[in-house]
Amino acid sequence: MTPASRSLYYFGIYLLFTGLTLIVFPNMLLSLIGIPETTEVWIRLLGTVVTAIGLYYVFMAPANHPLFLMLSVYARVSIFVWFLLFVILGIGPMQLLIFGFVDLLGALWTYSALRRA
């Protein structure tokens, strides 16, 4: 794998871990970052989406497809921007920025590796 595809692969593993945690132990993760626990199904639904995206990343990374790698950069930067907007508008907790910042760092890692190639 190239450095860019490796960055996407590792980010996919992070997403798989996070998504599965949201499905199986959502309140453990929520309480860990200071978000109130919930019994609603939405957090588990989010976990299934995050897990699916993680699968895409893990399985597509070895293909080293430049368009997919670049699209992942745009998507992850947009996640950060949306989360930041939610916090600024007061409709999301500040803790969203933890996840948004991880997405931004992953995007910058992949982008940097693509630029070096």
Q: What is the pLDDT along the chain (117 residues), one digit of tens a residue?
A: 999 999 999 999 999 999 999 999 999 999 999 899 999 999 999 999 999 999 999 999 999 999 999 999 999 999 999 999 999 999 999 999 999 999 999 999 999 999 997
Is the sign of the CA dihedral 39, 45, 48, 49 positive or negative? Answer: negative
* Beta-carbon count within 10 A of 33 CB: 12
Q: Quick one: how far is CA 71 from the chain centroid?
A: 13
Domain residues for the domain of 14 are 3-116
CA atoms within 13 A on the CB side of 63: 10
Question: What domain count does the chain have?
Answer: 1
CA 83 to chain centre: 11
